[in-house]
Every structure is written in C-alpha cells, then in structure tokens.
C-alpha cells in the first residue's frame, strides 16, 4: 500500500538542471545537450513535467516580436504534448539582460522596471500557451549590494506594483515567489517564505500569490526547510517545490536531495506527507545540478538519485514508529526520541 501511495508524487526538472559544470573558476566539463535530448531524458527518468524560464521556452526571446514568441510557444506546446510532458511553470529570467543589472522590478531606473514588467507579462502569455497557470518569481536581483544604493521601503511598493501588474494582466495566473536570501545579491528583499506570504497580502489579489520553497534557499537563510514547508502549507500556499541540498552557509550548491543532511531531508518529506503536498496537482521538482566532476555518461544521475532518495524517504516517513515516538514525546524523553529517529534512518 505504501508503494502505491508513494507513486502518487509526480516529478519535474528544468532544462537548466542538465548543466555543463561551469563555475566561476573553470569552464564546462560536459558537452551541452539539446532541448530534445533533455526532453527525452526527462521521459526516460519517468518525470512528468518540465519547468521553463521564458527563454528556455522561446530562446533569444528579446530578439523576437510578440507574435513570433507566441508562435514558438505554441510549437513547444505541441512537442510537449507529443511527449506527454506537462509544463509545470514559466519563470521570467530577469537576471541576465543588461536592463536588469541594477535589479528588475526594483531597479532605480523606471525604464528598466518597465522592461521587467513587460517581460513578465509576456512570460504569463507563454504560460497560458503552455497550459500552466503558474508563474514562478525567483527575484534574483531584487535586493542590494550596497544598502544606500536603494530605498528598501520604496522597493516594497515597487514589488507590489509589479505583482499587481502581473495579476491584472491575466486573472487566471498564480504567482509563486521563490525566496532566496542572498546570491547574487548581498541581501534579497524577500528572503524567506514569511516575506513572500506577507507581501502577498499587500497585493490586489492575495489569494493568487503564493510561494515555492527551495531546500537550499531555506538553509541559506539559516532556516529548516521542513518548518518553511509547514508554514507555507498552513496557508495553502505551497504551489511548487525545489528539493535539493546545501552544506551550510556558502554559495548555492544545488546538491542532490539529501546529499548533505539526510535527517533534514527526512523531515522535509515528513512535512510534505503530513500536509498532503501534491494533492492539488503540485509537482516535486528537483533544482539540482550534476557535480562538476560528473562524466557525460552519468548526466542523469543527480536527478535519478534525488528521486530515488526522495521515494526511499517517503517509505521512511510512512514506516516511522509513530506510537513509540509519541510515547517518548509524552514522557518528554527527547533524548531517546533523537536516537529513535537515528536508528530509524539507519534501518536499525
């Protein structure tokens, strides 16, 4: 029975998750793969959906006119339908273009802010064509390196203005804010799920503004991702998920799920289970990258391994000795509760 329940989770990844190993200190270590290759890789893995940046869906998006963009999005939709892969979400990539050097929605330059909003509206149109009502906002450059360079109070208003413009552009769209406390910025304006859900309340349509939790981002904020999951799900606002792992407070590592901390991963799975994540069609996405050392013939391992570990932890969550644990909780014997968890994870 546990097995058939476990199979109710549906998995997803993005084309950027087949990365080539480049880091700030060295070049690619694997050949770039084509979009078609990535699509069939997802199928081979048994994943059911793909997530898209707007320019993953329509490459070189800024050089194309709106009609061309929609035409290419329609062609993509046909290919996805042909493969039986859904588009989970679309995310405007607002951190590459020269117009977003000083931030996108919170740029000090009005013209650049307009670019960011227009591009987001176009991403919403692409989402419509691809058959998803989810726009993900990783607010990469909304923050500052230098506190005095921006008015953080005004930036809250600018963010609300941008969210409102997106919500008004299409009454069906839902916005999932993906908080990350730092990198590339020194500090981001919406660093945690609490911030994301709070700003939702300032918009014209709070019920259409929710969030996406990435394990590594919560860890970078010094938080436990499982508490973030419980918090978001108490509001019914966890609309997507980027599971991965992170070893402490350093650059965003995007390691395979559970790679660094099995217990933290176990608790994320328990939180998803107790809240019924996936029941409304949400996907489990892995925002993971191959290690730089990964050979081309092992290109899919980081995704396959993350999925397999996730499913193993689902079994662990379901076979957790709840009664025994509750008795220890009632006795305030957290000392032995700790051991119970460790022994359970060790299979003892």
Enzyme catalytic residues:
53, 56
Closer Cβ to ligand GLO, 123 or 317, answer by number: 123
Residue 252 contacts ligand GLO per CB under 6 A: yes
| Gap between the Cα atoms of 50 and 136, Å rounded | 13
Tokens 């925002």 — which residue? 287
Closer Cβ to ligand GLO, 15 or 30, answer by number: 15
| Gap between the Cα atoms of 238 and 176, Å rounded | 8
Residue 327: count of CB within 10 angstroms of its CB: 14
Please give the residues from 281 up to 300 whose contact with Mg ion meets the rule CB under 5 A: 287
Count of residues in contact with ligand GLO, rule CB under 6 A: 9
| Gap between the Cα atoms of 18 and 324, Å rounded | 43
Main-chain dihedrals φ then ψ at residue 103, nearest 5 degrees: 100, 165
Q: CB of 235: closest distance to Mg ion in angstroms?
A: 20
Residue 187: count of CB within 10 angstroms of its CB: 12
Residues facing residue 136 across a β-bridge: 176
Residue 93 contacts Mg ion per CB under 5 A: no
Angle, nearest 10°, between helix axes 110-130 and 66-83?
40
Q: CB of 329: closest distance to ligand GLO in angstroms?
A: 35
Residue 142 contacts ligand GLO per CB under 6 A: no
Going residue by residue from 169 to 208, which x/- string records binding to Mg ion, judged by CB under 5 A?
Answer: ----------------------------------------
Q: CB of 183: closest distance to Mg ion in angstroms?
A: 12
Going residue by residue from 4 to 43, which x/- string records binding to ligand GLO, judged by CB under 6 A?
Answer: ----------------------------------------
Residue 242 contacts Mg ion per CB under 5 A: yes
E-assigned strand segments in 150-219: 174-178, 187-188, 209-214
Closer Cβ to Mg ion, 184 or 321, answer by number: 184
Token code pair at residue 121: 């509206």
Residue 242 contacts ligand GLO per CB under 6 A: yes
| Residue 246 and residue 252 in contact, taking contact as beta carbons nearer than 8 Å | yes
Binding residue for ligand GLO, selected from 214, 228, 230, 245, defined by CB under 6 A: 214
Binding residue for ligand GLO, selected from 39, 85, 91, 232, defined by CB under 6 A: 91
Please give the residues from 156 up to 185 whose contact with ligand GLO meets the rule CB under 6 A: 178, 180
- For the chain, what's the residue count? 348
Token code pair at residue 29: 């270590």
The contacts of residue 143 (CB under 8 Å, 6+ apart) are 103, 106, 182, 185, 186, 187, 188, 189
Please give the residues from 269 up to 298 whose contact with ligand GLO meets the rule CB under 6 A: 287
Count of residues in contact with Mg ion, rule CB under 5 A: 3
Q: CB of 152: closest distance to Mg ion in angstroms?
A: 24
Residue 136 contacts ligand GLO per CB under 6 A: yes
Q: Which of 184, 90, 96, 93 is nearest to 136 (CA)?
A: 90
| Gap between the Cα atoms of 7 and 276, Å rounded | 13
Report the interface residues with Mg ion, using CB under 5 A.
214, 242, 287
Report the interface residues with ligand GLO, using CB under 6 A.
91, 136, 138, 178, 180, 214, 242, 252, 287
């Amino acid at each position: 029975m546990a097995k058939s329940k476990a199979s109710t989770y549906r998995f997803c990844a993005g084309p950027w998750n087949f990365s080539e190993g480049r880091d700030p200190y060295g070049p690619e270590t694997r050949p770039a793969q084509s979009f078609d290759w990535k699509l069939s890789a997802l199928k081979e893995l048994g994943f059911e959906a793909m997530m898209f940046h707007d320019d993953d869906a329509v490459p070189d998006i800024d050089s194309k006119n709106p009609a061309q963009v929609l035409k290419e999005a329609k062609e993509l939709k046909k290919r996805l339908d042909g493969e039986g892969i859904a588009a989970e979400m679309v995310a405007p990539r607002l951190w590459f273009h020269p117009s977003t050097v000083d931030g996108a929605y919170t740029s000090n330059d009005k013209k650049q802010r307009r670019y960011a909003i227009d591009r987001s509206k176009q991403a919403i149109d692409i989402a419509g064509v691809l058959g998803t009502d989810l726009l993900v906002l990783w607010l990469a450059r909304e923050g500052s390196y230098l506190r005095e360079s921006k008015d953080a109070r005004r930036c809250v208003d600018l963010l609300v203005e941008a969210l409102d413009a997106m919500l008004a552009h299409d009454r069906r769209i839902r916005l999932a804010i993906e908080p990350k406390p730092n990198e590339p910025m020194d500090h981001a304006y919406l660093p945690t799920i609490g911030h994301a859900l709070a700003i939702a309340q300032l918009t014209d349509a709070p019920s259409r503004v929710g969030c996406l939790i990435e394990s590594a981002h919560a860890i970078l904020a010094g938080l436990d991702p499982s508490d973030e999951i419980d918090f978001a799900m108490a509001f019914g606002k966890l609309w997507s998920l980027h599971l991965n792992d992170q070893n402490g407070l350093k650059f965003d590592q995007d390691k395979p799920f559970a790679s660094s901390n099995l217990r933290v991963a176990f608790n994320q799975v328990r939180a998803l289970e107790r809240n019924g994540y996936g029941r409304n069609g949400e996907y489990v996405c892995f925002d993971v990258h191959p290690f730089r050392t990964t050979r081309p013939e092992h290109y899919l391992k980081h995704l396959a391994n993350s999925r397999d570990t996730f499913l193993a932890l689902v079994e662990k969550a379901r076979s957790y000795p709840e009664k025994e644990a509750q008795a220890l909780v009632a006795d305030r014997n957290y000392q032995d509760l700790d051991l119970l968890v460790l022994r359970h994870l060790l299979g003892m």
